[in-house]
Structure 1
Amino acid sequence: MTSQEPLLNGHVLIHGHRIATGIHGAGTPLVLVHGTPAHSIIWRELVPLFVDAGFQVHLYDLLGFGRSERPVDADTSVAAQVALLAALLDHWQLPTTHLFGHDIGGAIALRLAFEHASRLRSLSIADAPSYDSWPSPTWKHLRDARRPACLDAGRRASRHDGAPAGHGRFSQGQDAGRPSAVLPGAAVRRGGPALVLPAPGGAL
């Protein structure tokens, strides 16, 4: 992967929605799942390291984030994102894979592990919410108070763009922070649980 190569280099329809995807390198598969309010740009410094370490890296923008479709009425819950990720694994023809989830991506990865344990070679998570820690009371208030206005703005933007109803604009978005660079087989602890990625042929 070169510095000029985009992280996301493909698109696929999953459950009727367009998902922006990227595949880099060759070797043992590793799937990366970002969190909120970020998108796949958080992996920009890690992807080359993983490729050099012998992984084939698969990444994507969650439904409702980044360059993936952002329909105003779609279900973007953790449960819905798990079903979407499972369908993406089928599309990528990955019977098994290493999986690394960050933030809400960690919650998605954990739930996928419970529902499809046989598909994972290893599971690595960083800064993942747990139990009832997300959405927080403050985030729930902001979400619920702003939802009617956001839905209305999305519908008006769709009509302005000439896009089908229920489809909003797409944008690159901004960098919302990034995880520390981690090499396979190394552990990192920064105020939370250790994150460990195995070597390409290893298991966790």
Structure 2
Amino acid sequence: MTKITFNDGMKIYWDHPIEMDDGLILRADIFCPEKVGKYPVIMTYGVYGKWLDFRDGYKPQWDIMVDKFPEVMANSSCKYQNWEVVDPERWVPDGYVCVRIDSRGAGRSPGYLDPFSPRETKDFYNCIEWAAQQEWSNGKIGLNGISYYAINQWQVAELQPPNLAAMCIGREHMTYLENGLIMVVYIVHMVAIGIKGDAFQDKMA
């Protein structure tokens, strides 16, 4: 069931359901301006667990980032920051809706984890078109993210979602080694994240 809270100038939908074409329900956190209206959407879809606080789940990386770029702490509590996605406290005040979706089999979404597969890409497409029809959306969906969240943008763009309006991509090339081989350690990491997600869901059930 969706939980709705009003925090830090935002209306937040926690674990909001998005039904796929095969009936499976994905879970999303949606950060909206408190003022009712239709806004452009910034979406991320992936495996890293929308519930995992950047400061806790990736503390070494967080500490390095804050040390090198202390300005990230300005004008934000940072408590809604997740790994490799936008900070809603920076975007929502400027009139955007931020949508974070746990991909099939990861985080709070059930199903079989199959990174970069046709099924996952179709789910991403479905989420884009779903978001375009919501009461808080103006129908223009932008994608944002780096690494995993960058690679899957290229994949879903190939399907040409009618309401995909923009893509902001970074560091997608870093995942690959020479001769087109994907880093094995990256796959192992993604699988581990998926397993943690399943365990978390069991604990919360």
TM-score by length of 2: 0.56
Q: Is the CA contact (8 Å cut-off) linking 1:78 and 1:108 kept in structure 2?
A: no
Write 1 or 2 for the structure with the bigger share of helix: 2
For 1:23-172, list aligned pairs within 5 A: 23-26=30-33, 27-34=39-46, 36=47, 38-40=48-50, 41=52, 42=54, 44-45=80-81, 46-71=87-112, 75-94=114-133, 95-116=139-160, 118-129=162-173, 132-133=176-177, 135-139=182-186, 169-171=199-201
Which of residues 19, 22, 28 in structure 1 aligns to 2:29?
A: 22
Instruction: State the alpha-carbon separation in 1 of the partners of residues 161 and 131 from structure 2.
Output: 18
Q: Is the CA contact (8 Å cut-off) linking 2:26 and 2:104 kept in structure 1?
A: yes
Q: 1:56 to 1:80 in 2, by over 3 A?
A: same
- Residue identity opposite 2:123 in structure 1: L
Q: SS at the partner of 1:122?
A: strand
Q: 1:93 to 1:138 in 2, by over 3 A?
A: closer
Write 1 or 2 for the structure with the bigger share of strand: 2
Give the paired residue count.
147
Give the structure 2 partner of residue 13 of structure 1: 19
Q: 1:139 to 1:54 in 2, by over 3 A?
A: closer
- Residue identity opposite 2:105 in structure 1: G
TM-score by length of 1: 0.56
Larger Rg: 1
CA deviations over 1:142-181 (Å, ceiling 9, x no partner): 59xxx9xx9xxx9xxxxxxxxxxxxx544399xxxxxxxx
- Residue identity opposite 2:32 in structure 1: G
CA deviations over 1:40-85 (Å, ceiling 9, x no partner): 24592301211111102222111121111143xx544343222101
Q: 1:32 to 1:137 in 2, by over 3 A?
A: closer
Q: 1:6 to 1:57 in 2, by over 3 A?
A: closer
- Residue identity opposite 2:90 in structure 1: L
Q: SS at the partner of 1:51?
A: helix
Q: 1:51 to 1:83 in 2, by over 3 A?
A: same
Q: Is the CA contact (8 Å cut-off) linking 1:103 and 1:127 kept in structure 2?
A: yes
Q: Is the CA contact (8 Å cut-off) linking 1:8 and 1:59 kept in structure 2?
A: no
Q: SS at the partner of 1:92?
A: helix
Instruction: State the alpha-carbon separation in 1 of the partners of residues 166 and 144 from structure 2.
Output: 8
- Residue identity opposite 1:135 in structure 2: I
RMSD (Å), alpha carbons: 3.6
